[in-house]
Structure 1
Amino acid sequence: MSPAMSELPAAFLADLHAALGDALDCRPASLQAHAGDNSWRQQLPLAVISPTNIEQVQAALRCCQRHGVAVVPRGTGTGTTGAAVPTPGSVALSLARMDSILAIRPADRCAIVQPGVLNGTLQQALQAHGLFWAPDPSSFEICSIGGNLATNAGGPRAVKYGTTRDNVLGLKAVTANGELIVCGGPWTKDATGYDLTHLLVGSEGTLAVIVEATLRLQPLPADRAGLRVFYADAASAAAAVARLMGQPVVPTVCEFLDARSLELLRGNGAQVPEAGAMLLLDVEGDSDSLPGLLAALGKACEGEGLLDMDVATDGIARERLWAARRALSPALKTIAPGKINEDVVVPVSRIPELVAGVQALSARFALPIVTFGHAGNGNLHVNILYHPDDTEENQRAHAALPEVFALVLALGGTLSGEHGIGLAKRDFMADAFNPATLALMRAIKQAFDPAGILNPGKVLPPA
């Protein structure tokens, strides 16, 4: 018997075995595999439950509620906020085995999937139908649809297509007492009752366990083209973003890289000229419309501070433009092994103030901070880099984090655009919301999960 199994009350263990059979796993290797996520936090669960159908999810939650045992739902563990890290004395509920694409309905522009389906697997299956699902987080090849739903994941395409919440039509979910709820469906208009679908998306497993999703699909574009635009400073680049988002042609992607990002890329061999900031743009169309679309974007990019602009209309040239952007995150490790990566959001017009404020914090705390991300949404990734084994530097990095959040909130922004809250940002929620708003959120949690067994301690700070 494993140490974790010995900690399980005998009645609870017998109940789980009776309800779940081989869906219950207490082997040490399995416990370790489900102990953390990409936040690098770790906590062994008492057991791992890996259901293959909705009935097993219901049975597991009923059993856990009867015995007062907390449940932490999880996908593949690519999240960065600790939302999938078990709480002490909890069981991990892995949805990985519920990985079927139940239906692809081209006429209804939707797909019906289980939560364990990988984003990349779904995209491959949709290509044969000339369709795609819009959310494209950087981990799309290995992250699960359930995880995307739990955190309201986004990605570069969100500037045109929105985040996960904007691309979900309906859900089936199991509440803490094992009841199945059904909300939404394969339609794009619905004025019937409360919108539970969009409430559950982004709730990080704290309200219910999503067991099936109806996803809104988009047609694959006929063609694409890209632009790489350099500016003298971040203010000029941000002004261009405001112009881009204020004219009729919406870019599919609008990425921002600050001067430190460009310096880092040059240091790693990328062919990037000296500049204060760079925008990377993508636009979709066909052979007839693309020239006009590119011209419109190019005109919006013109203005004070513009240094240079590259246009790529074929696949190989576009790939070269985006190679530098994809190389950026790995290149951060060449500066320091430790990274605090926060996906904050500010109004597009206030991006220059955010970048300037972050640069000031970098100087004050004597730490490199690199800023880049999805400028079209005002969603920038602020990367505080440090050496974890240097005690004093570690302390400075974690002291800088509250200052970043304070700056973002002072600029009328919010704590997260696509990573979620989890444990990492939970204690800053009281800064982002007033007491009445937090009280209503806690009341919603209480209505869905009165015993408090679903992913406790995540998202909402203690009352």
Structure 2
Amino acid sequence: MLPAELVSTLNKTLTPDRFYTDPVDCYTYAYDNSRKVFPPQAVVFPLTADEVQTIVSLCNQYKIPLIPRGRGTGTSGGSLPEQGGIALSLERMLNIISVDVANRVIVTEPGVLNQTVQDTIKPHGFFWPPDPSSAMYCSIGGNIATSAGGPHAVKYGTTRDHVLGLKAVTGAGEVIKTGCYTTKGVVGYDLTRLLIGSEGTLAVITEATLKLTALPSAVAGITAHFRDLKGCVSAITQIMSLPQLPSALEFLDSGSLNLIRNRYPDMLPRSANAMLMIEVDGTESEIAKTIAVILTACKTDSLIQANQAENIAALWKARKALSPLLREIAPKKINEDVVVPVSSLPEFLNELTRLSSQYQIANVNFGHAGNGNIHVNLLINPDDTDEATRAEQCLDKIFDLAIRLNGTLSGEHGIGSEKRAFINKEIDQPTLALMKNIKLLFDPNNILNPGKIFP
């Protein structure tokens, strides 16, 4: 139970439609896309930075866990109220504070959707490069919390590369401003990049100054189909060694292609067991040159066909449909987003095939091959305890493999609660201790998203 004094103060601070305590109302905020459920004791909906500061300060006073969240689209359990407490939903902080075309900047509150930002700035000839598959539904605050990426990160980078500054409330209830309004600035420590990817464990973002990028004058797509995985991966490494960088380079294995065939029977060659979806952008002349060299790079022994795509939108629709389609194979997926150097992809994917066979776990892989960021999906029946155990053992070996190949456990989903048990594989004890000390500086009472990231 929450302290009566805290409940009374929140009732005076927030209107009833912005302070939930009924378990039925709170249940919506008990889960994210990890599909695990941890009900909060209450949910609050601030509208201003001052209200966020008041709520954080109250939770500090009463030592109550406070779990910031956007739209709950994350897959790593980062917004789960595992220890109860209060869910701090930022979904109603929806103001776009300014659009500054001359300086290529947009300033927004954290609840603004990624797609809303794109729609707002497109008429001015700009876009914001982070484009996770949930862009229609995910918030800017959530993108910042996990340093979200997406297909176009291969050319444009992830969220960390496109945020100039932040305003936030620390776990101690202090309002801070990080970064600056300009693209150059080296005054003090780079706290902006520290907060990006911190998953709500250090501070609550209340305002973000985002750097915009000019829309390319033209965009084109290429599809390349291969008889086997080896030839496809060889093409990836050849493409990424070219001076002309694609704006997106997506890989789909045979399991992914079979899912697409079930939904779109005539889209793919029957003999294809691997596929690349490639996008290029720039001027018309740049695109023509880039397409030519990429088509040449695709000519491995197992290439079936490589062509310029007629309908880019249909291509991305099929790609984004993959994740939901996985549930047609098994009721549960263990969805990981490991990253390895592009040159290590052949060894990684071959070893991944061996591991899934060894542990007898259905496995479908796709993802952002240009970054070496593969979405590994282990498909299981959670009611089969033996299969679930084998899947966990297989996952442990996959993480070991990624680290051995000089990779990382997460490229864009974050650690949250799903991967915290494995973080020691990547981060040594002195570094982990330093991170925990930083957490205590920002959040001395450990109220912000407690238990996340660290094992």
- State the TM-score, normalizing by the size of structure 2: 0.96
| Paired residues for 1:357-436 under 5 Å | 357-436=351-430
C-alpha separation in 2, matches of 1:361 and 1:140: 32
Which of residues 235, 238, 243 in structure 2 aligns to 1:243? 238
SS of residue in 1 equivalent to 2:445:
coil
SS of residue in 1 equivalent to 2:338:
strand
Partner of 2:449: 455
Which of residues 282, 285, 297 in structure 1 aligns to 2:282? 285
Which of residues 107, 111, 121 in structure 1 aligns to 2:106? 111
Does the 8 Å contact 1:175/1:448 carry over to 2?
yes
SS of residue in 1 equivalent to 2:324:
helix
Tell me, yes or no, if structure 1 residue 207 matches structure 2 residue 202.
yes
SS of residue in 1 equivalent to 2:379:
strand
Partner of 2:345: 351
C-alpha separation in 2, matches of 1:451 and 1:321: 48
SS of residue in 2 equivalent to 1:203:
coil
- 1:407 Cα deviation (Å)? 1.6
Once the two structures are superposed, residues 191-216 of structure 1 have per-residue CA deviations (whole angstroms, 9 ceiling, x without a partner) of: 11100001100000000001000011
Tell me, yes or no, if structure 1 residue 100 matches structure 2 residue 95.
yes
Instruction: State the one-letter code of the partner of 2:449.
Output: N
The structure-2 alpha-carbon separation of the partners of 1:208 and 1:129, relative to structure 1 and needing over 3 Å to count, comes to same
- 1:302 Cα deviation (Å)? 2.9
The two structures, once aligned, show a CA RMSD in angstroms of 1.6
Tell me, yes or no, if structure 1 residue 85 matches structure 2 residue 80.
yes
C-alpha separation in 1, matches of 2:36 and 2:378: 17
C-alpha separation in 2, matches of 1:48 and 1:322: 36
Does the 8 Å contact 1:258/1:372 carry over to 2?
yes
C-alpha separation in 2, matches of 1:46 and 1:330: 30
C-alpha separation in 2, matches of 1:280 and 1:445: 40
The structure-2 alpha-carbon separation of the partners of 1:423 and 1:189, relative to structure 1 and needing over 3 Å to count, comes to same
C-alpha separation in 2, matches of 1:141 and 1:448: 32
Deviates more, 1:288-297 or 1:202-211: 288-297
SS of residue in 2 equivalent to 1:330:
helix
Tell me, yes or no, if structure 1 residue 56 matches structure 2 residue 51.
yes
Does the 8 Å contact 1:340/1:383 carry over to 2?
yes
The structure-2 alpha-carbon separation of the partners of 1:320 and 1:55, relative to structure 1 and needing over 3 Å to count, comes to closer
Partner of 1:128: 123
C-alpha separation in 1, matches of 2:332 and 2:266: 23
- 1:416 Cα deviation (Å)? 0.5
Deviates more, 1:24-33 or 1:253-262: 24-33
- 1:85 Cα deviation (Å)? 0.6
Does the 8 Å contact 1:86/1:92 carry over to 2?
yes
Once the two structures are superposed, residues 368-411 of structure 1 have per-residue CA deviations (whole angstroms, 9 ceiling, x without a partner) of: 10111000001000000112233332332233221221121122
Does the 8 Å contact 2:201/2:450 carry over to 1?
yes
Does the 8 Å contact 1:20/1:60 carry over to 2?
no
**Unmatched 5+ stretches in structure 2:** none
Percentage of matched positions with identical amino acids: 48
Instruction: State the one-letter code of the partner of 1:124.
Output: D
Does the 8 Å contact 1:159/1:374 carry over to 2?
yes
Does the 8 Å contact 1:72/1:87 carry over to 2?
no
C-alpha separation in 2, matches of 1:177 and 1:290: 51
C-alpha separation in 2, matches of 1:109 and 1:423: 36
**Unmatched 5+ stretches in structure 1:** 1-6
- 1:289 Cα deviation (Å)? 3.2
Does the 8 Å contact 2:148/2:159 carry over to 1?
yes
Instruction: State the one-letter code of the partner of 2:431.
Output: T
Would you identify which runs of 4 or more consecutive aligned residues in structure 1 move more than 4 Å? none
Does the 8 Å contact 1:61/1:177 carry over to 2?
yes
Which of residues 261, 275, 278 in structure 2 aligns to 1:266? 261
The structure-2 alpha-carbon separation of the partners of 1:270 and 1:459, relative to structure 1 and needing over 3 Å to count, comes to farther
C-alpha separation in 2, matches of 1:103 and 1:119: 15
Deviates more, 1:303-312 or 1:195-204: 303-312
SS of residue in 2 equivalent to 1:278:
strand
Which of residues 283, 292, 302 in structure 2 aligns to 1:305? 302
Does the 8 Å contact 2:38/2:84 carry over to 1?
no
SS of residue in 2 equivalent to 1:140:
coil
Instruction: State the one-letter code of the partner of 1:351.
Output: L
SS of residue in 1 equivalent to 2:321:
helix
Once the two structures are superposed, residues 269-319 of structure 1 have per-residue CA deviations (whole angstroms, 9 ceiling, x without a partner) of: 25222234211100012334321221122233334433320112x5xx223
Does the 8 Å contact 2:295/2:307 carry over to 1?
no
- State the TM-score, normalizing by the size of structure 1: 0.94
- 1:76 Cα deviation (Å)? 0.5
Does the 8 Å contact 1:149/1:165 carry over to 2?
yes
Deviates more, 1:71-80 or 1:269-278: 269-278
Partner of 1:444: 438
- 1:186 Cα deviation (Å)? 2.1
SS of residue in 1 equivalent to 2:154:
helix
Partner of 1:158: 153
Deviates more, 1:289-298 or 1:246-255: 289-298
Which of residues 55, 59, 66 in structure 2 aligns to 1:71? 66
C-alpha separation in 2, matches of 1:405 and 1:441: 21
SS of residue in 1 equivalent to 2:185:
coil
Partner of 1:296: 293
How many residues matched? Answer: 452
Instruction: State the one-letter code of the partner of 1:271.
Output: M
C-alpha separation in 2, matches of 1:326 and 1:150: 22
Once the two structures are superposed, residues 238-258 of structure 1 have per-residue CA deviations (whole angstroms, 9 ceiling, x without a partner) of: 232222222221111000112
- 1:219 Cα deviation (Å)? 1.4
Deviates more, 1:30-39 or 1:325-334: 325-334
C-alpha separation in 2, matches of 1:232 and 1:102: 51
- 1:424 Cα deviation (Å)? 0.1
Tell me, yes or no, if structure 1 residue 176 matches structure 2 residue 176.
no
- 1:323 Cα deviation (Å)? 4.2
